């Protein structure tokens, strides 16, 4: 049986103690709260559609399209806070193969994970930007013209901002780990 990786989230961390980190944490938690409220709103919209469709023969127009766009937006609203807190789900099969006594190897794996995560988030933001810019310039929308439409810009902006915020969160974790390792070596 493999060893389990234990992360002590209550340990003193100079980066967490800084004003900038507390501000970042509050901002990312606010984004996640918006995502949570959005989930509740989508649930109510879907229930209204089901009730309207099955009991009143009056479905709510555009629910499927709104829900589909909303799922993506909700993920990018919630991803940065999860990244900052270290609560993302990840396959730990590689970490379990390394004995707990090899702390440096575990730290290196975490370091590489964070670097790759920062790079992926920056690539996502960079690749989403041209569509976001085009949506802004052309007033792009989705829906059925004349029946209902919704602009795509807010959804696209959330993807770009969420990706950048997640990159910042992973970078903050990386700096925090480096700071902890430096402090551990100094003592």
pLDDT in tens, 16-42: 557 888 899 999 999 999 999 999 999
- Would you write out the chain's pLDDT as a tens digit for each of its 187 residues? 444 444 444 444 444 557 888 899 999 999 999 999 999 999 999 999 999 999 998 998 889 899 999 999 999 999 999 999 888 877 777 777 777 777 787 778 888 888 999 999 999 999 999 999 999 999 899 888 888 888 999 999 999 999 999 999 999 988 887 776 665 565 5
Distance CA 135, CA 102 (A): 50
Task: Find, among 83, 104, 103, the residue nearest to 27 by Cα.
Answer: 83
pTM for the model stands at: 0.81
Confirm if 116 and 170 have CB atoms less than 8 A apart: no
């Amino acid at each position: 049986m493999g060893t389990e990786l234990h992360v002590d989230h209550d340990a003193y961390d100079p980066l967490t103690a800084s004003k900038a980190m507390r501000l970042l944490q509050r901002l990312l938690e606010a984004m996640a709260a918006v995502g949570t409220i959005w989930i509740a709103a989508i649930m109510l919209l879907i229930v209204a559609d089901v009730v309207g469709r099955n009991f009143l023969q009056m479905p709510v127009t555009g629910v499927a399209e709104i829900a589909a766009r909303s799922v993506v937006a909700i993920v990018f609203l919630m991803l940065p806070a999860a990244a900052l807190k270290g609560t993302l789900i990840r396959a730990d099969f590689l970490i379990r193969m390394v004995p707990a006594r090899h702390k440096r190897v575990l730290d290196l794996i975490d370091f590489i994970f964070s670097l790759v995560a920062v790079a992926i988030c920056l690539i996502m933001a960079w690749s989403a930007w041209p569509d976001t810019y085009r949506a802004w310039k052309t007033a792009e929308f989705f829906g059925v013209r004349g029946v209902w439409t919704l602009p795509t810009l807010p959804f696209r902006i959330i993807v770009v901002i969420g990706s950048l915020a997640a990159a910042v969160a992973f970078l903050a974790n990386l700096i925090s780990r480096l700071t902890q390792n430096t402090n551990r070596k100094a003592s």
